[in-house]
Amino acid sequence: MVFVNVMPKSTKTGDGREGAPQLPMRRKFLGRIAAVPMFGSMGLSSLSGGSKSRVAEPSPEKIRALLISATTMAGKSSLEHAEEQLKKVYSGKRRILLINFASQPMDRDAYAARMQRDFSRIDERFEVDSLHAYPIEEAGRVLRQAEAVFVSGGNTFLLLRELYDRNIVKLLRDRVFGGMPYAGSSAGSNLAGVDIGTTNDFPLVDVPTRRSLGILPGTFNPHHPEIADTTAYGSRQYKISDHARFHPLKPVVGVNNAGMISIRGNELSLRGIGGFATIQIGAKSTRVEDHTDGNVSRVINQLLQQSTSNPS
């Protein structure tokens, strides 16, 4: 992958702390995103500034991530459907840094307490420490010391804005590419894409850029409707197809509530009983279901090859 660093410069607040970028800010509008055909060496780059805008990307070989579509399934406890996969991604880790900036500020204390209960149920050794409990200027230090992170759901725009306010988007990304385990649900999974272009959320706040982590070589669409709900499924696919027409070589991975995407280095796999992923690249799409081998990487490769050889 090739990532274009469009990190905005933050401004100083009245007490001298790093604050949010001033909006509206001068922006360089990103052009289409291009990808080479093979996932093993896949590159996703903005072409807005030509070849000069390309920046060397760390290797994804160390990535260990789990992108969960929904935090809670009907009839189950929070994260119950993802317990086994969470144990795998956090294998050998004990302290988990919770990033719950997608939730409303007044709800974050209660959310952190709930996540501590949930993770203690999953494994009694897990301890949750919430980043929201620290002053904004401490965020970088806390993240540098983290063993693993969990980014929870809510409003994706609010989540990304608060990460940029703390100037830790690049740091979080670097830590994940360096091998720190990452798990997210809903907004936290959408954040893992190259941008938040296929979030389902209203823009609750402005963001300096929609660029996000680039852990997933494309964009993640959580809460994809079930196939049996033909109206909702068709409506969502129409929106995703419209996005794909504008970004013809950027994969979109839409995952239903039961599903999740496991990322181990270059390998993307579908997980979750009853889960499915609809992968769209340009005008071409393929659905991967839990009773197949779940090899999302191979499907992305195939669709990219088809799209580059026959773009119509």
Tens of pLDDT, residues 256-311: 999 999 999 999 999 999 999 999 999 999 999 876 678 999 999 999 888 887 76
Q: Mention every residue, 6+ apart, whose C-beta is less than 8 A from residue 167.
A: 7, 10, 18, 139, 140
When pLDDT is averaged across residues 228-237 and rounded to a whole number, the result is 91
When pLDDT is averaged across residues 69-74 and rounded to a whole number, the result is 94
| Residue 109 is a catalytic residue | no
| Residue 262 is a catalytic residue | no
When pLDDT is averaged across residues 232-255 and rounded to a whole number, the result is 93
State in words which class domain 33-309 has.
alpha beta
When pLDDT is averaged across residues 215-224 and rounded to a whole number, the result is 95
Q: Mention every residue, 6+ apart, whose C-beta is less than 8 A from residue 193.
A: 212, 213, 214, 215, 216, 218, 219, 220
Residue-range domain boundaries for the chain? 33-309
Among 23-32, 100-109, 247-256, the minimum mean pLDDT is found in: 23-32
Q: Which of 36, 8, 37 is nearest to 45 (CA)?
A: 36
Please count the residues of the chain. 312
**CA angle in degrees (0–180, nearest 5) for 232-220-127:** 115
Question: Residue 208: what are its φ and ψ, rounded to 5°?
Answer: -65, -30
Q: Which of 223, 243, 269, 285 is catalytic?
A: 223
The number of angstroms, rounded, from the C-alpha of 12 to the middle of its chain's C-alpha atoms is 28
* Confidence (pLDDT) at 309: 76
| Residue 293 is a catalytic residue | no
When pLDDT is averaged across residues 225-242 and rounded to a whole number, the result is 91
Sheet holding 95-99, edge to edge: 127-130, 95-99, 149-151, 182-185, 64-68, 260-264, 267-271
Share of the chain above pLDDT 70, in %: 80
Mean pLDDT taken over the chain: 83
Read off the amino acid at residue 286.
Answer: T
Question: Residue 226: what are its φ and ψ, rounded to 5°?
Answer: -65, 150
Q: Distance between CA atoms of 48 and 29, rounded to whole angstroms?
A: 7
User: Does the structure show a pLDDT above 50 at 148?
Assistant: yes
* Confidence (pLDDT) at 87: 97
User: Does the structure show a pLDDT above 50 at 233?
Assistant: yes
User: Does the structure show a pLDDT above 80 at 145?
Assistant: yes
Question: Where residue 81 falls among pLDDT bands split at 50, 70, 90?
Answer: very high
Q: What is the DSSP letter of 295?
A: B
Q: Which of 182, 186, 158, 157 is nearest to 172 (CA)?
A: 182
Dihedral class, residue 294 (left if φ above 0, else alpha if ψ from -120 to 50, else beta): left
User: Does the structure show a pLDDT above 90 at 115?
Assistant: yes
pLDDT tens digits, one per residue of 154-196: 999 999 999 999 999 999 999 999 999 999 999 999 999 999 9
Q: Distance between CA atoms of 234 and 16, rounded to whole angstroms?
A: 50
Q: For the whole model, what pTM was predicted?
A: 0.81
3-state secondary structure of 260: strand
Q: Which of 46, 78, 186, 307 is catalytic?
A: 186
User: Does the structure show a pLDDT above 70 at 38?
Assistant: no
* Confidence (pLDDT) at 212: 97
* Confidence (pLDDT) at 2: 35
Q: Which of 118, 165, 195, 201 is catalytic?
A: 201
Q: Which ranges in the chain belong to alpha helices (H)?
A: 83-89, 108-122, 139-145, 156-165, 169-177, 187-190, 230-246, 296-309
User: Does the structure show a pLDDT above 60 at 106?
Assistant: yes
Query: Helices 156-165 and 169-177 meet at what angle, rounded to 10?
Result: 100
When pLDDT is averaged across residues 64-92 and rounded to a whole number, the result is 95
User: Does the structure show a pLDDT above 60 at 97?
Assistant: yes
Question: Where residue 49 falls among pLDDT bands split at 50, 70, 90?
Answer: very low
* Confidence (pLDDT) at 226: 86
Q: What is the DSSP letter of 116?
A: H
